[in-house]
Chains A and B, each alone.
Chain A
Amino acid sequence: MIRISIAVWALLVTLLAGAVADEATEYDLKAAYLLNFAAYVEWPSPPKPVTVCVYGNNPFKAATIAALLNAKSGQIDAVFKYPRQLEYLTVCNILFWPQSEQGNFGKATALLNNAPILIVTDVQDGLPQGAMINLITESKHLRFEINIGTVLASKLKISSKLLKLAKIVS
């Protein structure tokens, strides 16, 4: 009897303890990178605010984006948009292409054809497919590669500080 009552008690405590909030995941970190990139990029005509687009299946949690925008509100003026169709991408200043949408990536970069949009992705081998920044995992850390050629062609300017942090592919 006592065993059952303990098990029930333990279950109750478990259910009652629901202070629900989210734990930092891989994509929370990627979202933070994405927003922080805005501080290192100059567009031909400075956007206000910077429109950060996440295409297709949104891997980011709304709570994380809200926390990020709130924490960075003094430094970075940005909004997040979640277009699901390729033709809406032209409004973006930063475009994030998640791994889950890998199939369409080449098509999208071809379509955008040197538009002044910072294209960031975590698909495998994103750079040859037209990405400017590719997020990669390396020795337990999240790192990124920059394709300078693609950046130059788009008339975006990337600060040397960002280049210093990146692994550069010319």
Chain B
Amino acid sequence: MLDNSAPTELKHRLKLSTAALLLNFCPQIFAVEVNDMSRMDLEQLMTVELETVTASKYNQKLSETASSVTVVGKDQIQQFGYRTLSDVLRTVPGFFITNNREYDNAGIRGFDQSADYNGRMLVMIDGIRMNEAIYDSGFTDNALPIDMDLVERVEIVRGPGSSLYGNNAFFAVVNVITKLGKDYQGGELGGSWSSFDSYKGRASYGRKLDNGLDFLASASGFNSAGQSLQIPEAASPSNPLGASSGANNEHDKQFFAKANWGNFSFEGGYGRRFKGIPGGIFGVDLGPPASSLQDSEAFVNLQYQKALSPKLDFTARTFYGDYDYKGQFRYGGLLVNNLTHAWWTGLEMRLLSSHFDGHKILVGAEAQENWQLQQYADIGPPISVSQDDSRDTHRIGIFVQDDVDLTERLKLSLGARFDDNSLSSQSMFSPRVGLVYQALADTVLKLQYGKAFRSPTIAQQFYTVYGIPNQTANTGLQPEQIDTVSLTWEQAFAGDWHFTATGYYLKQNKRLGVEEIAGFSHAVNLSGDVGYGGEFELQRRWDNGALLRTGYSLIFAEDQDPVGSAPGILGNVPRHLYQLNFMTPLFSPKWRGGFDMQVLSSRMGLQSNTPGYTRVGLNLLYQPITYLDLSAGVYDLLDDNRLEPGGIYGIPQEGRTFRLKFQCRF
């Protein structure tokens, strides 16, 4: 993000940003405490930044966004010991995380995305789309090419986002905002040791120079031997427990760099995640040799932003992305070899005008060309190539949004986006209407209707493999669409307490699902699902840095499809979701503790039921000197999150694990 403010108060601003805080509701929250602010002179005060969310492609106050939003800041990431984006999302109303030993997947408003690679959620880093071009995966584990230690805050917007972002902004938009060089002013080294012989190291360096150049570079590595598992499905007379070969190892790398100078900003990252697949899961052989998968994603973004006049902002960006997947799956002695590669380039331009009184008008266009989307698969021995497809595709979107101040208290937001995707004959129109009503000084009501879509992936349309699981292409797929209506009530009370309640109703049309006929599966458009429910969040932050964030979600989701499964039953929907996050200084400001808990009710699956769980995390942070952070954490303290849906018996989870971590600055 560009920072055009006066560069004179470098040291001071650094201090301010380390105190960065955010609450969901406050009209505006500053990254500064009252006492610090009191001592500033006018010039310093003018550098204080108003915290805003980017749910609307331009910075907007939280209370003026018509969507239901949760923001998790870096202080929470550190004090709760969040390791991945999944760790953040599992603490947020409406979200739950499942892990199938391949990937982490986010469930949103009851809809599990395990078979979907998170394709119904748009994941961005600093506003840059991360969902890749083959499977549309929005990674939330270490395959996301950013280390969580570099994250300033995560903005989670529940509800449709296609009116601005197009494809994949279906159930939610998650934007990961990274730190700046000025947040470091030097180097930082970090390392951790955790359960199952897992080691992580990170080196980062960032600085803001007197000439205004702000830069940050970082490299991380993670290696884990992984847990040995028992998979009942793999049990045999010779291996009655189904003890897996232990090929559950993980090897990850992440590189990230960014630089801002004047009107220009550059950002790039690379992430590679290798994951061994424990024998037995999804019927793969026990091994050795083991099955495995590897995802690599790279991105580069170059952005130019300029105020053409005091009332007209111009932004142009050009981007490049690359995704590579290697999957090796062994079934009954046969090796299915999957090689997938894609790269893409694109351009986006937008204008933000406040020329007309009471209107903020955003217009923009985005185009992305996907080059040589390659899908290759062979199976052997003897090796026979069952798939070798390469094609170019593109997507083009134009969007417009007008935020209108109808009266002092009533704001209207109108937006729409028109998308054209070369893979599909159908163009998509995604409108959104939002009303924000400041009913009382401490009360805001928000009403929103939005349409969103997800296009069929190129994998669903053009991937065929004949092996143990036979998968066939379906070129006749159409995009799925969702209509969502939500009503949000935000209430501040007793000074510092903030309460948010959201009720929603959503209807999916032409849902992209899987149909299996005689051992052959392929993607189809099903008729649809309906979901409704409520999300409640209560937050408070204390001056000493303590924070309470707690949420409850009541979830109903129904399959309306007469074909396939029995109507009315949608697999693996938890009815109740309760989350509690509390962090506080302990003993002295040098000690900080974080407690987080997720209670998920049981999930009824089509093959098996998954019991509910209470997952508790504890993290203790000790900062003996300014330059050193030490922390110790335990995840799933009660050892209760033991099973996630998958197969007939469910997929065993890690259970209770530990982590020791250090960070030092120089």
Contact = CB atoms under 8 A, between A and B. Distances in A.
Interface of A: 2-3, 6-7, 10, 13-14, 17-26, 28-29, 32-33, 36-37, 39-40, 63-64, 67-68, 70-72, 99-100, 102, 124, 137, 139-143, 162, 165
Nearest to B638: A2
Max count, chain B CB within 10 A of own CB: residue among A13, A22, A32: A32
B34 A24 contact: yes
B221 interface: no
B584 interface: yes
A98 B41 CA distance: 22
A63 B441 contact: no
B543 A19 contact: yes
A140 B542 contact: no
Max count, chain B CB within 10 A of own CB: residue among A2, A68, A140: A140
B580 A32 contact: no
Nearest to B43: A165
A67 B46 contact: no
B contacts with A: majority SS: loop
Given A19-B542, A19-B543, A21-B544, 15 more contacts: A7-B597, A13-B582, A14-B582, A17-B542, A17-B548, A18-B542, A20-B542, A22-B496, A24-B30, A24-B32, A32-B37, A64-B34, A139-B307, A165-B42, A165-B46
B46 A10 contact: no
Contact of B40 (A6, A25, A32, A165): A32
Contacts of A99: 408
A140 B26 contact: no
A140 B34 contact: no
Nearest to A23: B541
A22 B41 CA distance: 21
Contact of A26 (B4, B21, B28, B548): B28
A67 B35 contact: yes
Interface stretch (B47-55, B132-140, B379-387): B47-55
A57 to B, nearest CB: 8
Contact of B42 (A36, A64, A141): A36
A37 B43 CA distance: 11
A142 B548 CA distance: 28
Given A22-B34, A24-B32, A140-B49, A10 B42 contact: no
B236 interface: no
B407 to A, nearest CB: 11
Given A10-B582, A142-B50, A165-B43, A68 B27 contact: no
A10 B541 contact: no
Given A17-B546, A24-B30, A141 B595 contact: no
B542 A141 contact: no
Contacts of B546: 17, 19
A7 B580 contact: yes
Nearest to A25: B26
A133 to B, nearest CB: 12
Given A13-B595, A22-B34, A142 B542 contact: no
Given A3-B614, A23-B541, A17 B597 contact: no
Contacts of B30: 24-26, 28-29
Contact of A71 (B38, B50, B544): B38
Given A13-B582, A21-B544, A23-B496, A141 B37 contact: no
Contact of A17 (B21, B27, B28, B584): B584
A140 B58 CA distance: 10
Max count, chain A CB within 10 A of own CB: residue among B30, B34, B546: B34
A18 B546 CA distance: 9
Contact of B45 (A2, A36, A63): A36
A88 B47 CA distance: 35
A151 to B, nearest CB: 17
Contacts of A10: 580, 582, 595, 597
B629 to A, nearest CB: 21
